[in-house]
Chain A
Amino acid sequence: MGNNHHLKDQIAVRSRTIGMRLFLIYVLLYLGFMGIVLFRPDVLSWRPLGGVNLAIAYGMGLIFSAFVLALIYMVACRGRSPDA
């Protein structure tokens, strides 16, 4: 019983560590977008992706990266949790 609690605590700490790292990656991406919108909006007219401008490409990228990071988190935590 005690061992099980200890294992659960360890798993929770590991999940939290992984989660915080992925969270920081997303925060950096989000801050990068905000920085461009607020301080260099002219850059957003640049068209890097099949004629689509940076404003749309970065915005779509933020949405897709949220999904990708969420998947990485789910895979990384799978097998660590006794109830997963």
Chain B
Amino acid sequence: MLYDSSPVAIAIFASFVLGVIGLSFWLGRKGQSAKGYYAAHGEIHWFVNGIAFAGDYLSAASFLGICGMIAFYGYDGFLYSIGFLAGWIVALFVIAEPIKALGKFTFADALDARFNSRGIKFAVAISTLIVSIFYLIPQMVGAGHLIVPLLGLPHAVGVILVGVAVTLIVVTAGMVSTTWVQFIKGSLLVFFCGILTIMILNRGLLLNAGRQGEEDLRPQVQTRTSDGRVLVNGEPQTAENDLRPVGTIYKLPERYGDARETGPLRPLEYLSTLEDSQIVTWSAKKHTDNKGMHTTFTPTIRDGKDLLKPGGYFKGLSSGTLTDRLNFASLMLALFCGTASLPHILIRYYTVKDAAAARKSTVVGIAAIGGFYVLTLYLGLGAMTSGYLDPTSSNMAAPLLAKSFSETLFAAISAIAFTTVLGTVSGLIMAGSGAVAHDLIENCFGVTMNDHEKVRAGKISAVFLGVVAMALGILFKNFNVSFLVGWAFHIAASANLPALVMLLFWPRTTKQGITAAVSVGMVSSLGWILLSADTFEKVYGLPRGDSPIPFSQPGLVTIPLGFLVLVFVSLLTPPQEPRQVVDA
């Protein structure tokens, strides 16, 4: 769809984003030593850190991706919310306190605390880099999608804007600044999504999204010609000849008689009313001929009760094929195990003063994140029935839902979504730059650096990662961001969790076992993803059937494989006396 940009929306957006960046610079102006740059001096208050956890974690995948998936496919997007939150239970009960006691600046510090092994440092640094890059891709894709309707600029410009802003934040003040960006963004996101949910409940459900007359149920066709033009229903795409926005209520429950709207609804009442309604969704089918690639969007009337149970996105849950069930179980396992293995989440434990603060900040994080995920269900369903959805982009559902209320709210929500990306990307770039400068250059390759040089190495690494992130964000433009972030969870859970858990709970773990588990977990999960049917179809443009992998999500195989490799290699290598643990 084509979008008009409004000067008011641009002004609100610019002041929001500049305000957040300015505040973070001001608050983060003290972090110039290595400990300040990488770990915010270990002085962040546990409550601020807890909300910053939410800021770090509630990425574009949570906000744009889940809302879009619920709006397009119904309940299945909420399964991501459930899985993303469940991961925090592993973080709180298993990982939080021990990792605070083990590490100093990075995740590799923690895994290597007992051994001082170059092999561990190298393997963990590479795994941190790969996970961070895979997590960066969906954030950058999301940033690009936000810019298109708001500023009327191309997707690539949005990606470059966020890349430059984040690199500036990280290079200027490191972890202190990053923490404050995440704190501000986490607070704003939960608060404004709460407001938006209240507005959704207050509006209730409207027939045909409040428009007069019957819903237009004719199919629409978008064509991308071989010479790069875009046609809508056979004519050039213009403001007058554009795709119709979609997603409305077709029929309200019997009890509403001839009424065209329900009026305000209570939270549970909203869900039960939607379940008894009929909703116009649509299917998208692509075919290519000598004129170009055609996508046909066909409206379909569906019962609410079918949209509010699993099976809309994960088709196998309703068809019941074994590989589809394995695919789903594998994804849910990776979401459960992945959170506590994400390097940018783990490094946040070094910014508080002790294990008790680590525990308390995790509880605050769970409260904020859990509250937000409850809201995602309402945001997604509100978008599904708002009559404002762009059928070509699931990632735009949340901002367009805000637009269904007002341009101002649209600008505010888009700005918050943009700062969401800023917060998460800055955390990821911090984790990645720490892996390159602290783990690889200093600890693994043995380059001696003074405090100033350590910070400079981190900043140069941050710039490099920022450029890589921008390039990948442009390349992966057409993917749902929740789907993309799932890959990062698989790699993190497969490479990092077995080593972390066994180090904490199995005294017989050896340095060779850890190095092997991280390496095998990382290579196997990455290889599985690159050879999967999803990647064949969506990245390489090849038939799904050509993939040699039985199902696309690797975690069900590669997470246990990491544990097995660690146990096997540890038992084959001599037990090692632990060295004195570095005091955090």
Give the interface centre of B359, B362, B374 by most chain A CB atoms within 10 Å.
B359
Name the one of A50, A55, A74 contacting B75, with C-beta atoms under 8 angstroms. Answer: A55
Q: A38-B325, A59-B81, A64-B370 are in contact. Are A51 and B310 (CB under 8 A)?
A: no
Smallest beta-carbon distance A82→chain B, Å: 9
Q: A59-B81, A59-B82, A64-B370 are in contact. Are A70 and B377 (CB under 8 A)?
A: no
In the complex, what distance in Å separates the CA atom of A16 from the CA atom of B370? 23
Interface flags for B259-277 (1: CB within 8 Å of A; 0: not) read: 0000000001101100110
Interface size counted on chain B using CB atoms at 8 A = 47
Q: Enumerate chain A residues within 8 angstroms of B370, measured Cβ to Cβ.
A: 63-64, 66-67
Q: Is the CB of A23 within 8 A of B90?
A: yes
Smallest beta-carbon distance A46→chain B, Å: 10
Asked if A10 is an interface residue, CB under 8 A from chain B, the answer is no
Name the one of B81, B272, B328, B377 contacting A38, with C-beta atoms under 8 angstroms. Answer: B328
Asked if B143 is an interface residue, CB under 8 A from chain A, the answer is no
Asked if B367 is an interface residue, CB under 8 A from chain A, the answer is yes
Asked if B534 is an interface residue, CB under 8 A from chain A, the answer is no
Interface flags for B345-378 (1: CB within 8 Å of A; 0: not) read: 0000000011111011011001100100110010
In the complex, what distance in Å separates the CA atom of A47 from the CA atom of B271? 11
Asked if A52 is an interface residue, CB under 8 A from chain B, the answer is yes
Q: Is the CB of B93 within 8 A of A20?
A: yes
In the complex, what distance in Å separates the CA atom of A30 from the CA atom of B275? 24
Q: Is the CB of A41 within 8 A of B311?
A: yes
In the complex, what distance in Å separates the CA atom of A3 from the CA atom of B233? 79
Name which residue of chain A comes closest to B360, CB basis: A74
Asked if B102 is an interface residue, CB under 8 A from chain A, the answer is no
In the complex, what distance in Å separates the CA atom of A23 from the CA atom of B363? 14
Interface flags for A44-75 (1: CB within 8 Å of B; 0: not) read: 11010111110110011011101101110110
Q: Is the CB of B92 within 8 A of A19?
A: yes
Q: Is the CB of A37 within 8 A of B86?
A: no
Smallest beta-carbon distance A78→chain B, Å: 9
Q: Is the CB of B356 within 8 A of A60?
A: no
Name the one of B272, B318, B355 contacting A52, with C-beta atoms under 8 angstroms. Answer: B272
Q: A55-B308, A63-B85 are in contact. Are A49 and B359 (CB under 8 A)?
A: no
Q: Chain B interface secondary structure, helix, strand, loop or mixed?
A: helix
Q: A19-B93, A83-B355 are in contact. Are A26 and B271 (CB under 8 A)?
A: no
Q: Is the CB of A56 within 8 A of B328?
A: no
Q: Is the CB of A12 within 8 A of B97?
A: yes
Asked if B140 is an interface residue, CB under 8 A from chain A, the answer is no
Which residues in window 8-37 of A have CB below 8 A to B? Answer: 12, 15-16, 19-20, 22-23, 26-27, 30, 33-34, 37
Q: Enumerate chain A residues within 8 angstroms of B536, measured Cβ to Cβ.
A: none
Q: Is the CB of B359 within 8 A of A56?
A: no
Q: Enumerate chain A residues within 8 angstroms of B310, measured Cβ to Cβ.
A: 37, 41, 44, 55
Q: A56-B308, A60-B374, A63-B82 are in contact. Are A51 and B272 (CB under 8 A)?
A: yes
Name which residue of chain B comes closest to A19, CB basis: B93
Asked if B309 is an interface residue, CB under 8 A from chain A, the answer is yes
Q: Is the CB of A15 within 8 A of B97?
A: yes
Q: Enumerate chain A residues within 8 angstroms of B275, measured Cβ to Cβ.
A: 47, 51-53
Q: Is the CB of B309 within 8 A of A44?
A: yes
Asked if B89 is an interface residue, CB under 8 A from chain A, the answer is yes
In the complex, what distance in Å separates the CA atom of A26 from the CA atom of B366? 14
Asked if B282 is an interface residue, CB under 8 A from chain A, the answer is no
Name which residue of chain A comes closest to B357, CB basis: A83
Q: Enumerate chain B residues within 8 angstroms of A84, measured Cβ to Cβ.
A: 356
Name the one of B81, B82, B276, B373 contacting A33, with C-beta atoms under 8 angstroms. Answer: B82
Smallest beta-carbon distance B574→chain A, Å: 27
Q: Is the CB of B317 within 8 A of A66?
A: no
Q: Enumerate chain A residues within 8 angstroms of B355, measured Cβ to Cβ.
A: 12, 81, 83
Name which residue of chain B comes closest to A60, CB basis: B374
Asked if B120 is an interface residue, CB under 8 A from chain A, the answer is no
Name which residue of chain B comes closest to A33, CB basis: B82
Asked if B230 is an interface residue, CB under 8 A from chain A, the answer is no
Give the interface centre of A33, A44, A70 by most chain B CB atoms within 10 Å.
A70
Asked if B180 is an interface residue, CB under 8 A from chain A, the answer is no
Name the one of A15, A26, A49, A55 contacting B309, with C-beta atoms under 8 angstroms. Answer: A55
Smallest beta-carbon distance A15→chain B, Å: 6
Q: Is the CB of B271 within 8 A of A45?
A: no
Interface flags for B326-350 (1: CB within 8 Å of A; 0: not) read: 0011001000100000000000000
Name the one of A34, A66, A74 contacting B89, with C-beta atoms under 8 angstroms. Answer: A66
Name the one of B85, B86, B356, B362 contacting A81, with C-beta atoms under 8 angstroms. Answer: B356
Q: Enumerate chain A residues within 8 angstroms of B353, measured Cβ to Cβ.
A: 83
In the complex, what distance in Å separates the CA atom of A38 from the CA atom of B329? 8
Q: Enumerate chain A residues within 8 angstroms of B72, measured Cβ to Cβ.
A: none
Q: A15-B97, A63-B370 are in contact. Are A56 and B78 (CB under 8 A)?
A: yes
Q: Is the CB of A63 within 8 A of B373?
A: yes
27 residue pairs bridging A and B, Cβ less than 8 Å apart: A12-B355, A19-B93, A37-B317, A37-B328, A38-B325, A41-B309, A44-B310, A45-B305, A45-B309, A51-B272, A52-B275, A56-B78, A56-B308, A59-B79, A59-B81, A60-B377, A62-B85, A63-B85, A63-B374, A66-B89, A67-B370, A70-B366, A74-B360, A81-B356, A83-B353, A83-B357, A84-B356
Shortest 9 CB-CB contacts between residues of A and residues of B = A51-B272, A19-B93, A23-B93, A84-B356, A50-B268, A70-B363, A81-B356, A70-B366, A83-B354
